[in-house]
Amino acid sequence: MKRPDSHFRPISGSVLPRFAGPSTFMRLPMVEDPAEVDIALVGLPWDGGTTNRAGARHGPREIRNQSSMMRLVHQASRIAPYDLCRVADLGDVPVNPIDLSDTLERATAFFQRICAAGATPLTAGGDHLGSLPALRAVAAERPVGLVQFDSHSDTNDSYFGEANRFTHGTPFRRGIEEGLLDPKRMIQIGIRGSLYSESDLDYALEQGVRVIEIEEYFDLGVEAVIAEIHRVIGTGPVYATFDIDVLDPVYAPGTGTPEVGGMSTVEAQRLLRGLQGLDLVGADVMEVSPPFDAGYLTALTGATMLFELLCVTAGAVADRRAR
């Protein structure tokens, strides 16, 4: 279903070379009013929740640069997101680089403004704690499901003492506790790496989260995992989050907490395409850290995954409009 007032279009590479012009997500216009869009592309340049290698604060800027390679139509699905929805770059969340609590408040207000205008947020981070303020906005009226692609569960309780309950390893535990997430409609895919203790995943499992560790992922295969995603999520509203470290570091070296033995980029693309048909109310790509990247590979991969999410989100927005 084509939207007649879909006037936001990326600058064509045949009009202006892809290495020229302003750096925005997908070469789209930058606007300030979320009421002008159906999907708001947002940067969250912040890594105040990082516990290992910092640098994801630089992720949105480089993802914008590399997203100049994204074109109008998805090659496999033939989805043309800019024909389905009004999409634009809403700029960056106004973060406070030295105050975690203040940044969470600022980010929550920023996403609430987007949702209040009827737009769907699609975010490039930033460390994974940045998913929490987005969830506080999209799940303000009811809990949502979660599809999480990640090498870590991010359901820890605290770090370096009970006082530190907000890090990039805790957002989805906080999301469950705050009533933002329905744990029985949560699925985590790609979990791997050594553990602090045998009980690291106990909280998620006890809450009813479907955890697919990397060994099971490879045993099942992509198509069976897509079927499991749809079984767990069902027909209700759902948020999708893609931590770039779900990929093996050979495909995405530029991240804060890399774990070997991950999935490939083509597997990840197939999984994201498999989200088509879900009622996506928001999504993000997190943990791209340009200081550790090699030849912009991770940033290009992040931009590509963002485009994959844009296409399936545009389909979901168009479906909601047609109801």
For residue range 30-39, list pLDDT tens digits in order. 999 999 999 9
**175 in helix, strand or coil?**
helix
Residue 110, pLDDT > 80, answer yes
CATH topology of domain 25-322: Arginase; Chain A (3.40.800)
DSSP result, 140-171: SSS-EEEEEE-SS------SSSTT---STTSH
The two counts, helices (H) then strands (E), for the chain are 10, 8
Q: Count the alpha carbons within 13 Å of 193 in the hemisphere toward its beta carbon.
A: 22
- pLDDT tens column, 242-297: 999 999 999 999 999 999 999 999 999 999 999 999 999 999 999 999 999 999 99
State the sign of the Cα–Cα–Cα–Cα dihedral 250, 255, 261, 267. Answer: negative
> Confidence band (pLDDT; 50, 70, 90) for 176?
very high
> Confidence band (pLDDT; 50, 70, 90) for 165?
confident
- Report the alpha-carbon distance of residue 290 to residue 218 in Å, rounded: 28
- pLDDT tens column, 7-61: 698 888 888 888 998 899 999 999 999 999 999 999 999 999 888 899 999 999 9
- Beta strands per DSSP E along the chain: 39-44, 87-92, 120-125, 144-149, 181-191, 210-213, 237-243, 279-286
Cis peptide before 91 (omega within 30 of 0): no
pLDDT greater at residue 259 or residue 6:
259
- pLDDT tens column, 185-197: 999 999 999 988 8
CB neighbour class for 188 (10 Å; exposed up to 12, middle 13-18, buried from 19): buried
As a whole number, the mean pLDDT across the chain is: 94
Domain boundaries along the sequence of the chain:
25-322
Residue from 287, 273, 262 nearest 315 by CA: 273
Q: What is the CA radius of gyration of the chain?
A: 18
pLDDT for res 2? 45
> Confidence band (pLDDT; 50, 70, 90) for 3?
very low
pLDDT for res 65? 96
> Confidence band (pLDDT; 50, 70, 90) for 6?
low
- Report the alpha-carbon distance of residue 256 to residue 48 in Å, rounded: 12
Whole-structure pTM value: 0.95
What's the average model confidence in pLDDT over 106-128? 97
- Report the alpha-carbon distance of residue 228 to residue 248 in Å, rounded: 22
pLDDT for res 169? 83
